[in-house]
Amino acid sequence: MCVQGLGFVGAAMAVAVAQARTPEGIAAYQVVGVDLPTPDGHARVDALNEGVFPFPTSDKKMVTALTEAHEVENLRATTDSSVFQSADVAIVDIPLDIDFLDDDPQLEMSSLEKAIRTIGRQIPKGSLIIVETTVPPGTCKKFVLPVLEEELRKRNLDNNVVHLAVSFERVMPGAHYLDSIINFWRVYAGHTESAADACQAFLQSIVDVQRFPLTRLSSITAVETAKVMENTYRAANIAFVDEWTKYAEAVGLDLYEIIDAIRVRPTHSNIRTPGLGVGGYCLTKDPAFTPAVAKQVFGLNELEFPFSKLALKVNSNMPRHSVNRLVNLLEGSCIGKSILVLGLSYRQDIGDTRYSPVEVLVRDLESLGAQVTVYDPYLDYWPEMDRPLPIKIPDADGADAVVIATPHHEFKILNFPKWLSNTRTVVLDTANVVSADERMICRNSGIRIESIGRGDGL
C-alpha cells in the first residue's frame, strides 16, 4: 500500500499501517510512502528510510513502531510515483490550502488535482483509493471522482474498476500521536457499496475496532462534512471563550476555575480554555471550507455561515490580546525591551510551527520595537521567519519580559520561582503553565506574573 504525502499526517499513517499485523503476527502490509522530489520531500524520504521519524515527536510508541518497521523492512519511502502501479491501497494525505481574496475564501485545488491524476494514471484495477486529506464537502464527488474517471478513461478502463472512499484523519501530534490513528474512532464511506466495504476491511486491519468502532456514513460527501463541521465546531468553541477571557480579566476573575466548574456538567465538558490563539493546519482554515465550496462548487450564493466566518476572524486576532496585555505590563511600551517567548509550536509537545499564533505575537511585538527571542525545546529553526533558535533555554535575567506561549511538558516541570529568581522580569503566562503556588512565590519575591484568562494578581 502507498501513502501519498509524507507530512505530519502521511508520515504517521505510513508508520501506523506498517505496524499492522495479521493474526499470525506477520506484517500485514508492505508500505511505501511517496512524496514530491522537493528538498522537504527528499528530507522526509531519507529520514524514513533511515528509520527516523521526519518530525520532532514526543511519542515513544511512534518511534518504536518505526524502528520495528525499519527492522522488518516493510516500510520504505520514495519520490518515484511509479510505485502506484503496484498499489493495492493508496491513501491521499496531501495538503489542501485555501486562499482569501478580500476576506472571501478561495479554494486551491491544483495540488489535489495533480495528486489524483498521478494515482489515476497508474493504479491497477481493483485497487482502493482512500482520501484522508480534509477537503471541502462535495470535493470527492464533484472534483476528485471526475478527475479520476478521466484518467481511467485515458487508459480505456471502466469508471468502477478502482474503488474510491473517504475516511478523514483525526491525527493529533504529541504524546499520543500513533494512538490517534490506531486507537481512535474513524468515519468512512465509499463512492459505491463495494468501495465502502473495501475501506472498512482496510480500516479494520489497522484500527482497534473492538474499542473504537468504525462509523459508516451514507455518502462520501457526508464524511467530508463531518470532518469540516467538527473542526469548525472546535474553532467556534475557542472563539467563544475569547470574549469571556477578556471579561474575566477586566473584572478580576479566574476563568480557569469557572470553566472547571462548568465542565463538571457532562453536556459542557468540552468547553475550551483561554490561550494565546489558534494554530496548526486545521482549525485555522477548515471553517472556511464550507462557505467556499457552497458558492464555488454548489452555486449556493444565498447561504451564509456567520458563525464559521466570525470564528476565523476572532481566532486570528487572539494573539493581539496577549500583545496588548504585555504592553500594559511593560507600562505602555515595548520599545527596546528584551522579550523571551517560551514555545513556538502551536500545540504542546510537538515541533510544528504551521500557522502558530506565536508568529503573530512575535511580529506584533517586534513592530512595537521589542527585541524578541523564541525558545522551543522541539525546534532549532523557525522556517516561517527563517531564524535559528537557541538550543537551550536562555537565562531569564536577560529579559525584560517572558511570555509562556506553549504548554510544553518541559515548561510545566520548570521551577519558575527558581529560574526567575534574582530578576525583576515581567511574566505573561498565556498557556496556564505556572501553578497558583508558583505565582504566589514569584509575586512575594517581587516578580510580576500574570495570566491570560485571569485578572491581575490572580
For residue 75, give every residue at least 6 positions away whose Cβ sits within 8 Å of its Cβ, in sequence order, or none. 14, 15, 18, 31, 32, 33, 48, 66, 69
**Count of positions (residues) in the chain:** 458
213 and 256 housed in the same domain: no
Give the per-residue pLDDT at 120: 97
* Per-residue pLDDT band at 296 (split at 50, 70, 90): confident
Select from 226, 256, 280 the last residue of a domain.
Answer: 226
8-state DSSP, 391: S
237 in a domain, yes or no?
A: no
278 and 421 housed in the same domain: yes
Provide the grid cell at 417: 520561582
107 and 215 housed in the same domain: yes
- Of 418, 419, 417, nearest in space to 443 by CA: 417
Select from 195, 226, 257 the last residue of a domain.
Answer: 226
**Across 372-382, average pLDDT:** 97
Among 15-29, 90-104, 270-284, 353-367, the least confident range: 90-104
pLDDT tens profile 6-33: 999 999 999 999 999 999 999 999 999 9
Q: Facing residues of 98 across strands?
A: 107
pLDDT tens profile 27-37: 999 999 999 99
* Per-residue pLDDT band at 179 (split at 50, 70, 90): very high
Give the per-residue pLDDT at 388: 98
Q: What is the CATH number of the domain that holds 385?
A: 3.40.50.720
208 and 293 housed in the same domain: no
324 in a domain, yes or no?
A: yes
456 in a domain, yes or no?
A: no
Q: How many folded domains does the chain comprise?
A: 2
pTM summary value: 0.94
**Across 181-192, average pLDDT:** 98
12 and 141 housed in the same domain: yes
458 in a domain, yes or no?
A: no
111 and 167 housed in the same domain: yes
Report the run of H or E that residue 125 belongs to, with start and end. none
**Across 310-324, average pLDDT:** 96
Q: In the chain, what are the helix, strand and coil shares in percent, each to the nearest 5?
A: 45, 15, 40
236 in a domain, yes or no?
A: no
Whether 103 shows a pLDDT value over 80: the answer reads no
Whether 101 shows a pLDDT value over 80: the answer reads no
Select from 170, 195, 226 the last residue of a domain.
Answer: 226
177 and 309 housed in the same domain: no
Among 235-239, 287-291, 434-438, the least confident range: 287-291
Among 70-84, 99-113, 290-304, 360-374, the least confident range: 99-113
168 in a domain, yes or no?
A: yes
> Cell 490572580 sits at which residue?
458
Measured CA to CA, the distance from residue 103 to residue 340 in angstroms comes to 33
Q: Where are the beta strands (DSSP E) in 8-112?
A: 31-34, 75-78, 89-92, 98-101, 104-107
High-pLDDT (> 90) share of the chain, %? 93
> Cell 535559528 sits at which residue?
388
Q: Which domain holds residue 12?
A: 2-226
Give the per-residue pLDDT at 365: 98
pLDDT tens profile 196-242: 999 999 999 999 999 999 999 999 999 999 999 999 999 999 999 99
Whether 175 shows a pLDDT value over 70: the answer reads yes
Measured CA to CA, the distance from residue 198 to residue 303 in angstroms comes to 35
155 and 299 housed in the same domain: no
Cβ distance 135 to 224 under 8 Å? yes
Give the per-residue pLDDT at 102: 64
**Across 243-260, average pLDDT:** 98
For residue 279, give every residue at least 6 positions away whose Cβ sits within 8 Å of its Cβ, in sequence order, or none. 345, 346, 347, 354, 355, 356, 357, 358
Whether 105 shows a pLDDT value over 90: the answer reads no
Give the per-residue pLDDT at 329: 97
283 and 431 housed in the same domain: yes
Average predicted confidence (pLDDT) for the chain: 96
Q: Provide the b/e sequence for 198-216 (b: ≥16 CB within 10 Å).
A: bbbebbeebbeeeeeeeeb
Among 93-107, 123-137, 231-245, the least confident range: 93-107
For residue 226, give every residue at least 6 positions away whose Cβ sits within 8 Å of its Cβ, in sequence order, or none. 168, 187, 217
**Across 144-170, average pLDDT:** 95
234 in a domain, yes or no?
A: no
339 and 304 housed in the same domain: yes
327 and 293 housed in the same domain: yes
Cβ distance 163 to 127 under 8 Å? yes
429 and 285 housed in the same domain: yes
> Cell 459505491 sits at which residue?
192
356 in a domain, yes or no?
A: yes
